[in-house]
């Protein structure tokens, strides 16, 4: 499959345009998410869309699949203007999307999901047997080794994604959008998916392929369009471009401008673990000192999150030693961790980090209400001032401190999480994927925040699946694989390729 895209191929991207976007525009309140995008998708091509987080890719998908109505502009399907007002209409035209986060019913069987909304019937009743049989045949035909009769939630996310693809295939999709399809897939699963995508293309299906992984774009796609800050900044034939070219288009600034790193003197050790083992990780020994960032890199499921959760007292370690500022401690619950001075900005902001339907000020003050109280009662003006100062210090863009956190952008939400812990006065900050879903500008701001934490003598553990980030920022970088540290590096002392192969294990 690797030879499919030699750069010399002048395989014209198939037929006439099947879907044309004209000045497509979308605003969410004050946010201009998509700015007058003109784009034409040719029938039977694989068209990649790349861009930083927050560049407008997901908004574009949501407009194309009818999830959100557009603010202005026009969409033509086979030359005919279409409103795309709801998902039903999009599916009716043959526009389907396979999302990164699977949107299926976890309690139904695989077959039940494939046939959902279009069940096979016999005498007015569901024909389960036939659906399982036909579903199995479909899965086999597609080359997925998946059973059709198991409950969906028993599969991995990667496998569920394949089920979603099979479902779209069955619906007779003519225009199929893949949103980061390989994010959670194993290599074999990804290979099976690519084979499927090529087969779909051969059958005349138009594919829109959205991915952060540029190597996949070059392997699979015919053309690539780049979005930046909601605007289309260019469309290239894949043979006419290269990775550096695309990255320059995507971020419009140099690496140095984004990654901000002061030389901060490293001080005394804050946290040391020695052969710490627990559920999902074993024999982890790391040391975090004042003024340094310790990066933990690895693939999803490599044990990094489990390890830091354990340090934070979530699931106490089964063996090994933790020492805090030179003193042996056992951290049995989160409260203890927080009292020591450990703060955790969790991976899933929405699930664990924030009270979304409460105010910005409320969230910032949540860990420190005790400090803002006189006896049992909260000092209202102190509370307002504390939140106010934090909003200014961390530069959270919000209309008021009573504004709900859910009304903020992803980046500003992340700033609330960080501001919350700054308020708490922690000594060791654990950031689990601090810049997921955050645009480049906000990323740079978050990195500056990290630097200011370090200056004040804090230490940072940063978990990231985004290699450039840990690579550029971490003073010490530990590579995780299968629950263990397989390699450790000093700042930029190994190449990206080396670190990546250590993480993957090839």
Q: Does 335 bind other proteins (CB under 8 A)?
A: yes
Residue 19 CB burial class (10 angstroms; 0-12, 13-18, ≥19): buried
From the list 2, 6, 254, 357, which residue makes contact with other proteins (rule: CB under 8 A)? 357
Q: Does 332 bind other proteins (CB under 8 A)?
A: no
From the list 39, 391, 394, 449, which residue makes contact with other proteins (rule: CB under 8 A)? 391
Alpha helices in 1-127 (DSSP H): 57-64, 87-93, 110-114
Judged by CB under 8 A, the stretch of 17-25, 35-43, 351-359, 457-465 that binds other proteins is: 351-359
CA dihedral defined by 394, 395, 399, 403, rounded to 10 degrees? Answer: -20
Judged by beta carbon, residue 82 or residue 403, the one nearer other proteins is 403
CB of 73 to other proteins, least distance (A): 24
CB of 381 to other proteins, least distance (A): 9
Judged by beta carbon, residue 23 or residue 392, the one nearer other proteins is 392
Q: Does 401 bind other proteins (CB under 8 A)?
A: yes
Cα distances (angstroms) measured from residue 397 to each of 25, 208, 269, 367, 390: 23, 33, 35, 21, 11
Contact map string, positions 403 to 432, toward other proteins, x by CB under 8 A: xx--x------------x---x--------
Closest CA to 197 of 116, 136, 132, 143: 143
Judged by beta carbon, residue 34 or residue 387, the one nearer other proteins is 387
Contact 42, 15 (CB under 8 A): yes
Count other C-beta atoms under 10 Å from residue 341's C-beta. Answer: 17
Q: Tokens standing for 388?
A: 């106010």
Q: Does 388 bind other proteins (CB under 8 A)?
A: yes
Q: Does 367 bind other proteins (CB under 8 A)?
A: yes
**137-196 residues near other proteins, rule: CB under 8 A:** none
Bridge-partner residues for 489, per DSSP? 477
Judged by beta carbon, residue 39 or residue 416, the one nearer other proteins is 416
Judged by beta carbon, residue 122 or residue 392, the one nearer other proteins is 392
Bridge-partner residues for 284, per DSSP? 276
Q: Does 402 bind other proteins (CB under 8 A)?
A: yes
Q: Tokens standing for 272?
A: 């040391």
Q: Does 384 bind other proteins (CB under 8 A)?
A: yes
Residue 209 CB burial class (10 angstroms; 0-12, 13-18, ≥19): buried
Closest CA to 50 of 192, 191, 178, 240: 178
Cα distance between residue 254 and residue 276, in whole Å: 39
From the list 85, 255, 399, 504, which residue makes contact with other proteins (rule: CB under 8 A)? 399
Rule CB under 8 A: which residues touch other proteins? 334-335, 338, 344, 346, 351-363, 365-367, 369-370, 372-373, 376-378, 380, 383-385, 387-388, 391-392, 399-404, 407, 420, 424
């Amino acid at each position: 499959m690797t030879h499919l895209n030699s750069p010399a191929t002048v395989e014209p991207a198939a037929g006439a345009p099947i879907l044309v976007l004209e000045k497509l525009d979308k605003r969410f309140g004050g946010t201009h998410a998509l700015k007058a995008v003109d784009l034409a998708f040719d029938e039977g091509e694989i068209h990649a869309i790349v861009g930083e987080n927050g560049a407008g890719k997901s908004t574009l998908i949501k407009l194309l699949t009818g999830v959100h109505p557009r603010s202005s502009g026009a969409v033509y399907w086979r030359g005919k203007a279409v409103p795309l007002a709801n998902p039903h209409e999009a599916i009716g035209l043959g526009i389907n999307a396979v999302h990164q986060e699977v949107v299926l019913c976890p309690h139904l069987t695989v077959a039940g999901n494939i046939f959902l909304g279009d069940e096979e019937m016999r005498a007015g009743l569901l024909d389960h047997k036939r659906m399982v049989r036909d579903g199995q045949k479909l899965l086999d035909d597609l080359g997925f080794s998946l059973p059709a009769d198991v409950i969906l939630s028993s599969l991995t996310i990667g496998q569920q994604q394949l089920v979603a693809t099979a479902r779209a295939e069955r619906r007779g999709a003519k225009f199929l959008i893949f949103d980061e399809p390989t994010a959670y897939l194993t290599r074999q699963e990804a290979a099976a998916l690519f084979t499927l995508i090529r087969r779909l293309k051969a059958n005349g299906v138009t594919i829109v392929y959205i991915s952060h992984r540029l190597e996949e774009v070059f392997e699979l796609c015919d053309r690539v369009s780049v979005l930046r800050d909601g605007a289309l900044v260019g469309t290239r034939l894949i043979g006419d471009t290269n990775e550096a070219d695309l990255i320059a288009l995507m971020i419009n600034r140099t690496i140095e401008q984004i990654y901000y790193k002061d030389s901060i003197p490293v001080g005394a050790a804050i946290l040391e673990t020695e052969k710490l083992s627990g559920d999902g990780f074993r024999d982890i020994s790391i040391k975090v000192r004042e003024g340094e960032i310790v990066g933990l890199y690895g693939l999803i499921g490599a044990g990094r999150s489990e390890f830091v959760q354990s340090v934070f007292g979530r699931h106490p370690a089964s063996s090994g030693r933790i020492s805090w500022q030179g003193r042996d401690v056992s951290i049995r619950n989160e409260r203890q961790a927080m009292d020591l001075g450990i703060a955790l900005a969790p991976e899933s902001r929405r699930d664990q980090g924030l009270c979304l339907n409460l105010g910005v000020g409320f969230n910032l003050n949540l860990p420190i209400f005790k400090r803002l109280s006189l006896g049992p009662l909260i000092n209202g003006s102190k509370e307002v001032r504390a939140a106010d100062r934090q909003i200014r210090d961390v530069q959270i863009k919000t209309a008021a401190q009573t504004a709900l956190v859910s009304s903020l952008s992803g980046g500003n939400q992340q700033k609330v999480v960080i501001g919350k812990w700054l308020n708490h006065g922690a000594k060791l900050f654990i950031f689990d994927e601090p810049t997921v879903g955050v645009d480049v500008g906000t990323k740079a701001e978050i990195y500056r925040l990290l630097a200011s934490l370090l200056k004040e003598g804090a230490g940072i553990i940063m978990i990231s699946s985004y290699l450039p980030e840990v690579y550029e920022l971490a003073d010490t970088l530990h590579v995780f694989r299968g629950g263990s540290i397989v390699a450790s590096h000093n700042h930029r002392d190994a190449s990206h390729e080396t670190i990546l192969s250590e993480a993957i294990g090839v």
